Amino acid sequence: MAMRILHVISTLAPASGGPTQVLKDLATAQTDVGHEVAVCTTDRGNPVQEKLPASHFRTFLHDQATLEVFPVTYAPLLLSLHLAQWLRENIGAFEIVHVHGLYRFPPTYAAYQARKQGVPYIIRPHGSLDPYLYGKSTRSVWLKRLYEHWFDLPNLHGAGALHYTAEEERERVAFLKLRAPSFVVPNGLDWAAYQSLPPRGALRACWGLGEAPLVLFLGRLHFKKGLDLLITAFDEVRRKIVDAQLVIVGPENDDYGQKVRGWVRERGLQEAVHFVGPLHGVEVVQAYVDADVFALPSYTENFGMTVAEAMACTLPVVISDQVKIHAEVAQAGAGLVTRCDAAEVAAALEALLRAPERRRAMGEAGRRLVQERYTWPAIIGALTKEYEKVIERNRRRRETGAQAEASPSHR
């Protein structure tokens, strides 16, 4: 059954990480199966608040989907009065609203308006309710708790469902005792982008790395990604595999990259650690193909899109047990799982760098795992079923309310 679907997200900035790419692929896949899809967002980057160029939005979605982009009135919360007006006037035209994220005006107001107008809505927290991030002390934590109390918690409790991408993500949110039902549907990849992989070596040649043992980190340079553990672990690896190299790919958030560079300098690793900034398109696939091991020792990760991308490129992974698909990775034999412990990360990296046949077997296992579980056709089918359940529950609830209003006791 074709549906009219609205997705709301604070920003489509590349620096915001995986949620942006996932939404792009999700909206595209939904239109491919016949749904009418619109995406509502602001024109700002996050956390860097400059206005995004119009060219970014022109290339974001194909012509079948509608993209509504609004200017920001107040940057810290991504408050947009034009977005608010559009939601008030148009949200009722959709059969379901899929809200991406929390703690910013666009998702908060979208959920509020859906609740107010009786439109079924789903909230996808994108890992922001994980205890590690939820309890993270900041200078404005009390403002966050107030915002949450007055706005986001009522939206979460009143949602038609909460969308988690891994069972462990759902389990770790249990402490909040949210009343809304929930479901687990993972993220997906466009398999066409990984069907035919390029030959190894193009980026190695650009970076001047030859055939050196190569560890790859790809993602935002953000405190939750465990880069402090990775640099410490790589220092230990270099003591035993002296020609090992580490390439760090990704945008920087809040100058965190300067801290990482400082750790590299302190350990004298400048010649072995390479910061290449963000890559796009085929260069991302090429980076995975050229690496020997992918590393993501995150302190928290609600799914781990880059892990799935690496596995799709037959690259074995070393991840922490806080990456929520770690159980699936371990069960498939697609990589090694460690605690958030630099010594364990170092041992896992060394073990794989010294074992090319083991890496090959893990890479093939990871590629099978992605193709079977993390590609769009099956995911869209599962998500559509969850949409249908939410819409039906909302219909029954409204009918029950209408009947109660019409009963003699209410006259």
Residues 153 and 264 grouped into a single domain: no
**Is 261 in the same domain as 145?**
no
Per residue in 340-360, pLDDT tens?
Answer: 999 999 999 999 999 999 999
- Determine the residue type at 240: K
Residues 318 and 385 in one domain: no
Same domain, 310 and 237: yes
Pair (176, 200) in one structural domain: no
Q: Count up the domains in the chain and report the number.
A: 2
Same-domain status, 369 and 380: no
Question: What band does 128 get if pLDDT is binned at 50, 70 and 90?
Answer: confident
Residue 38 and residue 170 in one domain: yes
- Strand arrangement of the beta sheet that strand 335-338 belongs to: 273-277, 245-249, 214-218, 293-296, 317-320, 335-338
Based on the domain organization, do 35 and 153 belong to the same domain?
yes
Between CA 276 and CA 197 the distance in angstroms is 21
215, 301: one domain: yes
Whether residue 391 sits in one domain with residue 279: no
pLDDT tens, residue by residue, 178-192: 999 999 999 999 999
**175 and 224 assigned to the same domain:** no
126/182 same-domain check: yes
User: Residue 291's domain spans which residues?
Assistant: 192-373
Q: Rounded distance, CA 162 to CA 295, Å?
A: 29
Asked if residue 140 has pLDDT above 80, the reply is: no
Q: Which CATH number fits the domain that encloses residue 205?
A: 3.40.50.2000
Specify the pTM: 0.89
Q: What is the pLDDT of residues 67-126, one digit of tens each?
A: 999 999 998 889 999 999 999 999 999 999 999 999 899 999 999 999 999 999 999 998
Q: Which pLDDT score, from 0 to 100, does residue 139 have?
A: 54
Asked if residues 132 and 322 have their Cβ atoms less than 8 Å apart, the reply is yes
